[in-house]
Amino acid sequence: MKIAILSRNASLYSTSRLVEAGRKRGHRVRVLDPLRCYMRISHQGFEMHYKGRALSGFDAVIPRIGSSITFYGTAVLRQFEMMGVYTPNSSDAVLRARDKLRSLQLLAREGIDLPRTVFGDYPDDTADLLRMLGEPPHVIKLNEGAQGQGVLLAEKRSASQGMIEAFRGLYANFVVQEFIAEAGGGDLRCFVIGNQVAAAMHRQAPEGDFRANLHRGGKASAVELSTQEINIALRAARTMGLGIAGVDLLRSQRGPLVLEVNASPGLEGIESATGVDVAGAIIASVEEGAARRA
């Protein structure tokens, strides 16, 4: 098979592992910077060029699109889809997962439990918005933040109002959620590939923080999931339409809660913590998906 990996940096751990795993299984693998891809769209067909040459003959494309280039990156991915190339994560699925508010609405519609969330725009409605949510602490999140950036904890109602006013002053889109204290600053990253959770880890926030992201100093260890946690992770990925997903769960008094569904989950933390060849599992899944399409 000929596989394209959309990534801005071929030396990133996740990208290089996918290249290694693909070539180990006998495939031709090429890393393409999505910002260097450009396209022609017409009723006569779809065409893509890269650094002056036409791109053709690809059987599959694996998107590793960062949040800063979501718009252009998904346009490139969509062009590959229009050209008949298989992808485990469609452009529409990536866009759904990138929008935190939309993701939460879709998950809730499917009956998947998550931290209570409120969203509003008009300043005069802030007090009632917070009453709808309940007593603090509250977690305030930028709608398109990543790796723990743009996530703040407000321990008092006055702090919540102040942070909300500050975000509105920056014309930022954000949501406000209940704080799940019993999670103890930890969460679960469930790495979904196809119809299974290929690996899972527990992430623990550093002392004094509540964000368990590894990029912010969190510690990771392998974890065994309950049947309920596995089923919820699979349902969440399926709801987003993602064949490859990092589903983040919180263990709460009322059961597992979906915190977020990531369309481009990193491989380094999960492979290091669990010893699972996640990159190899991704390539195997892509092989199966492309074969079904053939």
Q: Are 248 and 254 in contact (CB under 8 A)?
A: no
Helix residue ranges, H only, 83-156: 91-98, 100-109, 126-133
- Per-residue pLDDT of 251-290, as tens digits, reads 999 999 999 999 999 999 999 999 999 999 999 999 999 9
Q: How many CB atoms lie within 10 A of CB 152?
A: 18
Residues 6+ apart with CB under 8 A from 218: 203, 204, 205, 206, 211, 212
Length of the chain: 294
Across residues 121-141, what is the average pLDDT?
90
What is the model's pLDDT at position 215?
62
Residue carrying structure tokens 């959770």: 197
Q: Which two tokens stand for residue 196?
A: 């299974």
pLDDT over 80 at 145, yes or no? no
Torsion angle of alpha carbons 249, 74, 59, 241, nearest 10°? 40
